[in-house]
Amino acid sequence: MITVPEWINVILRSLTLIVLLFFLVKLLGTKQLSQLNIFETISGIVLGGIAAIHTMDPNTNFSYALIALVIWFLVPFGAEKIALKSKAFRDFTEGKGTVFIQDGKIMEDNLKKEGYSTDDLLEKLRDNNVFLASDVEFAILEPSGSLSVLPKRENRPLTPKDLGIKLAPSKEPQTVIMDGKVLVEPLANLSLNQQWLESELDKMNVSIENVFLAQADNDGQLSVDLFDDMIAVPAPTEKPLLLATMKKCQADLELFSLSTENMQSKEMYDKNSKKLQNAIDRITPYLS
Amino acid sequence: MTVGAQVKGCYSSIKNIEASLGILANKTQDKESKQAFENVEQIIKQIKNDLQKQVIELSKEEPQYK
Residue B24 domain-assigned? yes
Residue B28 domain-assigned? yes
The DSSP symbol for A148 reads E
Q: Which residues of A touch B22 (CB under 8 A)?
A: none
Q: Which sequence spans correspond to the domains of chain A?
A: 6-91, 98-155, 174-235, 239-287
Inter-chain residue contact B37 with A286, CB threshold 8 Å: yes
Residues of chain A with pLDDT under 50: none
pLDDT, position A219: 77
Inter-chain residue contact A245 with B16, CB threshold 8 Å: yes
Q: How many CB atoms lie within 10 A of CB A181?
A: 10
Residue B65 domain-assigned? no
Query: From edge to edge, which strands make up the β-sheet containing A211-216?
Result: A181-182, A174-178, A211-216, A222-226
pLDDT, position A25: 79
Q: Are A187 and A197 in contact (CB under 8 A)?
A: yes
Q: Which residues of B touch A168 (CB under 8 A)?
A: 30, 32-33, 36
B52 touches chain A (CB under 8 A): no
Q: Fold identical between A98-155 and A174-235? A: yes
pLDDT, position A109: 92
Cβ contacts of A39 within 8 Å, gap of 6 or more:
A76, A79, A93
Measured between CA atoms, the residue of chain A closest to residue B10 is: A249
Size of interface A-B (CB pairs under 8 A): 86
pLDDT, position A36: 61
Give how many domains chain B has, as a whole number: 1
Instruction: Write down the CATH number for the domain with range A98-155.
Output: 3.30.240.20
Q: In which domain, by residue range, is B33 found?
A: 3-60
- Architecture of the domain spanning A174-235: 2-Layer Sandwich (3.30)
Q: Which residues of B touch A249 (CB under 8 A)?
A: 10, 13-14, 17
Inter-chain residue contact A272 with B51, CB threshold 8 Å: yes
pLDDT, position B24: 86
Inter-chain residue contact A242 with B32, CB threshold 8 Å: no
Mean pLDDT, residues B29-55:
89
Measured between CA atoms, the residue of chain A closest to residue B14 is: A249
Cβ contacts of A264 within 8 Å, gap of 6 or more:
none
Residue B41 domain-assigned? yes
Q: Are B64 and B6 in contact (CB under 8 A)?
A: no
pLDDT digits (tens, 9 = 90+) for B2-36: 778 888 899 999 999 999 899 888 888 788 888 88
pLDDT, position A62: 82
ipTM over 0.90: no
Cβ contacts of B27 within 8 Å, gap of 6 or more:
A192, A219, A220
Q: How far is A287 from chain B (nearest CA, A)?
A: 10
Helix, strand or coil for residue A29? Answer: coil
Residue B56 domain-assigned? yes
Q: Which residues of A touch B42 (CB under 8 A)?
A: none
pLDDT, position B1: 66
